[in-house]
Structure 1
């Protein structure tokens, strides 16, 4: 049976109530990326998120971002590279310590927001980031955009890489994500999202934002946890895959 992974960025709130909402998504996914105090998250949310992930049998990864909680890590931060790498190191280790106390082993690292996008727009930055992650956290896979700069850098460093695809974003003809500023870059109709997710999982053709045919496969589909309907969307995605004979599995 074909399998696919569904991932979601979680632990980005501030309270136990936020974590309880996140927990409603967990039965329908296979992997979560937990914020670790850079763009969002605190000790309470990390502890509760890890505990809930363990209860639901999820793979757990670190979700570091620019240390800029005021902007939720969604703005490119002018920060010296050494300081950025130090912050990422602190964030990942902070979550690793929390996970270790709960007998949970971290599986991967996925960058957040503007840092994720900046690495894809800057080959040199992607190279430095992947080189740093491969050296400091060799046992952790890197999750990032399929066909992007982080994947290419991971291949050069022989670091395991999880190719991520997006069900609710249009792609450019070069397989890169269409910027949100472009009209039609975000897919709002759930049926269209589900159709694109299936194509990405099966490596079947789908249309770019300009209508050109694209065809590539991914290892994991992202569900956005900050969507108010995230749990319902994740459930629909899981059921859609199952109806097509695809198992969602760690």
Structure 2
């Protein structure tokens, strides 16, 4: 049994952070590289792509609200046309750097507050899916399983990769517990690893309120901004293998 593991990378402050990101790469199958909205510089994007190529990873864009001050984790009220223009500028910048290095982008995954906002707002999801289908028809879209982006993508026959989170609590099968809620981020590594097995195999697990959830995903997110991410990535690989699951490379 195989499962895809994705990780948000290129979000550090300098090139030294790319070295830490590179330690994660042998244990994942795809990376989502920040492209200037919440983090990332041309130098960091370039180094991240070079490292991803060395590790044979699928490479994707990780755009966000244009809000570096809040690391893209605050919802912004901005005209939709400006938001869509910003998304294109971010993806285009990464795509151009990738092309210059002989790489091709595979997918797009939104970041932070924009990811959450699209999953709870069907009109916003529809607008973004329409944009991505028009401007980047060959790129797959990663988004929360069972939520608004998946439904919008299905209506436009857009390839969609259903994502699950090993280190976040769920309120329902299509809603994550906001980070503002106590315990929304799972800190205990053992619990994260067990959640990964449940998501990979479509097994039951408890939501934030202790109710049973069960659904399938195509990819599991490992957050790269956790200081322990390289260690967790190795442990995840070992735990999956011990339970009959390999990482889809």
TM-score, normalisation: structure 2 = 0.97
The count of residues paired between Structure 1 and Structure 2 equals 249
Structure 1: how far apart are the matches of 2:68 and 2:88? 17
SS of match in other structure, 1:66: coil
**Do the aligned residues in 1 keep the contact of 2:173 with 2:215 (CA within 8 Å)?**
no
Structure 1: how far apart are the matches of 2:246 and 2:54? 20
Q: Is the counterpart of residue 248 in structure 1 residue 247 in structure 2?
A: yes
Q: Is the counterpart of residue 82 in structure 1 residue 76 in structure 2?
A: no
Please list every run of 5 or more consecutive structure 2 residues that lacks an aligned counterpart in the other structure.
Answer: none
The aligned counterpart of 2:140 is 141
Structure 2: how far apart are the matches of 1:124 and 1:223? 28
CA 174–31 in structure 1, closer or farther in 2 if over 3 Å, else same: closer
The aligned counterpart of 1:201 is 200
The aligned counterpart of 1:213 is 212
Structure 1: how far apart are the matches of 2:169 and 2:17? 29
- 1:169 Cα deviation after fit: 1.1
Per-residue Cα deviation, 1:30-85 (whole angstroms, up to 9, x for no partner): 11000111111011001000000000110000000111111111111121111111
TM-score, normalisation: structure 1 = 0.97
Structure 2: how far apart are the matches of 1:143 and 1:23? 22
Structure 2: how far apart are the matches of 1:204 and 1:228? 29
- 1:21 Cα deviation after fit: 1.3
Structure 1: how far apart are the matches of 2:174 and 2:38? 27
Q: Name segments (4+ residues, structure 1) moved above 6 Å.
A: none
SS of match in other structure, 2:158: coil
SS of match in other structure, 2:108: strand
- 1:170 Cα deviation after fit: 1.3
- 1:181 Cα deviation after fit: 2.5
- 1:201 Cα deviation after fit: 0.4
Per-residue Cα deviation, 1:6-51 (whole angstroms, up to 9, x for no partner): 1110011232111111111111111100011111101100100000
Please list every run of 5 or more consecutive structure 1 residues that lacks an aligned counterpart in the other structure.
Answer: none
Q: RMSD in angstroms over aligned alpha carbons? A: 1.0
- 1:174 Cα deviation after fit: 4.4
Structure 1: how far apart are the matches of 2:138 and 2:175? 27
The aligned counterpart of 1:12 is 11
The aligned counterpart of 2:56 is 57
- 1:175 Cα deviation after fit: 3.5
CA 134–203 in structure 1, closer or farther in 2 if over 3 Å, else same: same
